[in-house]
Amino acid sequence: MSQSDYLFTSESVSEGHPDKVCDRISDAIVDTYLAADPEARVAVETLATTNRVVLAGEVRGPGSITHDMLIERAREAIREIGYAQEGFHWQTAEVACHVHSQSADIAVGVDAAGEKDEGAGDQGIMFGYACDETDELMPAPIALSHRILKAMAAARHAKKVPFGPDAKSQVTLRYVNGKPVGATSVVVSTQHDEHVTTEEVRETVRPFVVDALPEGWMCPEEELYVNPTGRFVIGGPDGDCGLTGRKIIVDTYGGAAPHGGGAFSGKDPTKVDRSAAYAARYLAKNVVGAGLAKKCLIQLSYAIGVAKPLSVYVDCFGTAEVDQVKLAAVLQELMNLSPRGIRTHLALNRPIYARTAAYGHFGRQSEADGGFSWEKLDLVDELKAAFGATASA
């Protein structure tokens, strides 16, 4: 039997966190290729440390995209994040590019040819999740953790606060009868200017926490931890090495749902690690949005070179208003879950990925140019129609 009264914690990290710097650079490179050729193939990793960035991976795309262009994209990403400090500066950091052509063996196994449809770019399992805890149908702890840091970042970019780009947040919520009712503790660590005191940092951070939490949810004052280790002047890749794909729980559901293990950033949408995780979230969100369940978890699995998913699993944790077996079947009727079908349905072959690299890939607003298309609730009416009066409004 599931526990109904408990504490649950999720964390977020800012766009200036070392790992997120790397995610941003890798996704900027994905966008560069997709802008030039929507069918480009990209799998690029980034490492960042003190005034040094290393790019590595495989691509298949226009030869007009040179190493110099990729190096420039990396610098642009670092500049947009806001790094211009002595130990990590967008202009002076050494950027080494070791990106090369994609393996021909992978291309043969994955590409469409003759009667063979495009296959999955790798084997693996992907999860999507939605719940009714927040308006964005996300678990509340991760949604609130993101909210704090996004507001702080906006103030930093507007030069309203003496903060650096690197920051982390962590929110612990109390659940009663399975529903979040308030925060028991909040942790925020933020890089700051050298002249700012610990007390000043706390007083500057506190309003962001209060504003992010629903009314009446603020934790006790002694449970608000701001820069608990004290000074935090040296941050970003100068303080800690960063790598692409190391914040997969921050990117998804904050630990409230399983994760298949595959990172998103740096991968074009033929890679099911990315596209199928987006599809699973899209379907789960529409199930909850249609009132068919209060929680919905979807697992998809694939084999490299095989178009169809090997399995589609749906679990609504006892909250389903409809038969889950029928629900799984209906979802597969409403969306072609082959790699090509997912990309077509969600229009993923666009340069829309750099913006996903921080503050979560899910729980965002769908955008006019196709960004975050997997957050749309455009299957709600079809799902309700499929189950008739059984669906709750």
Q: Per-residue DSSP letters for 116-162?
A: BPPPBSS-EEEEEEEETTSTTSS-HHHHHHHHHHHHHHHHHHTT-S-
The amino acid that residue 144 corresponds to is L
> What average pLDDT score do residues 138-147 get?
98
372 labelled as ligand-binding? no
Which of 205, 233, 261 corresponds to the end of one domain? 233
The amino acid that residue 250 corresponds to is V
What pLDDT band is residue 95 in, cutting at 50, 70 and 90?
A: very high
User: Is residue 316 within 8 Å of 246, Cβ to Cβ?
Assistant: no
Q: Does 110 map to a domain?
A: no
191 labelled as ligand-binding? no
Q: How much is the pLDDT for 123?
A: 85
378 labelled as ligand-binding? no
Judge if 182 and 278 occupy the same domain.
no
Judge if 383 and 354 occupy the same domain.
yes
> What average pLDDT score do residues 75-96 get?
97
369 labelled as ligand-binding? no
326 labelled as ligand-binding? no
What pLDDT band is residue 111 in, cutting at 50, 70 and 90?
A: low
Judge if 223 and 277 occupy the same domain.
no
Q: How much is the pLDDT for 237?
A: 96
Domain count, the chain: 2
384 labelled as ligand-binding? no
168 labelled as ligand-binding? yes
> What average pLDDT score do residues 252-260 get?
97
19 labelled as ligand-binding? yes
231 labelled as ligand-binding? yes
Residues 6+ apart with CB under 8 A from 113: none
> Across the chain, what does the average pLDDT equal?
94
Helices (H), 303-348: 324-334, 339-346
Chain centroid to CA 41: 20
- At residue 140, does pLDDT exceed 50? yes
Which of 208, 233, 258 corresponds to the end of one domain? 233
The amino acid that residue 327 corresponds to is L
Q: Does 47 map to a domain?
A: no
Sign of CA dihedral 59, 125, 128, 378: positive
What pLDDT band is residue 115 in, cutting at 50, 70 and 90?
A: very low
- At residue 389, does pLDDT exceed 70? no
58 labelled as ligand-binding? yes
Residue 270 Cα distances to 44, 266, 276, 320, angstroms: 14, 12, 9, 32
> What average pLDDT score do residues 207-230 get?
96
Helix (H) or strand (E) holding 78: helix 67-81
Q: Determine the Cα–Cα distance for residues 322 and 4; give it in Å rounded to an integer.
A: 23
Q: Does 48 map to a domain?
A: no
User: Is residue 45 within 8 Å of 266, Cβ to Cβ?
Assistant: yes
Q: Does 21 map to a domain?
A: no
Q: How many Å from the N-terminal Cα to the C-terminal Cα in the chain?
A: 27
Q: What CATH number is given to the structural domain containing 302?
A: 3.30.300.10
> What average pLDDT score do residues 5-14 get?
98
Q: Does 383 map to a domain?
A: yes
Q: How much is the pLDDT for 113?
A: 47
Render pLDDT for 193-204 as a digit per residue (tens, 0 to 9): 999 999 999 999
Q: Does 66 map to a domain?
A: no
76 labelled as ligand-binding? no
Residues 6+ apart with CB under 8 A from 212: 144, 147, 148, 151
- At residue 390, does pLDDT exceed 80? no
120 labelled as ligand-binding? no
246 labelled as ligand-binding? yes
Q: How much is the pLDDT for 296?
A: 98
Higher pLDDT, 391 or 255: 255
Boundaries of domain holding 351? 124-132+271-390
User: Is residue 261 within 8 Å of 124, Cβ to Cβ?
Assistant: yes
Nearest Cα neighbor of 339 from 56, 30, 41 is 41
273 labelled as ligand-binding? no
User: Is residue 163 within 8 Å of 235, Cβ to Cβ?
Assistant: no
Chain centroid to CA 384: 28
Q: Does 171 map to a domain?
A: yes
- At residue 219, does pLDDT exceed 70? yes
Judge if 374 and 279 occupy the same domain.
yes
Nearest Cα neighbor of 171 from 230, 224, 131 is 224
- At residue 391, does pLDDT exceed 60? no
Q: Does 43 map to a domain?
A: no
Judge if 167 and 150 occupy the same domain.
yes
Judge if 128 and 187 occupy the same domain.
no
> What average pLDDT score do residues 336-344 get?
96
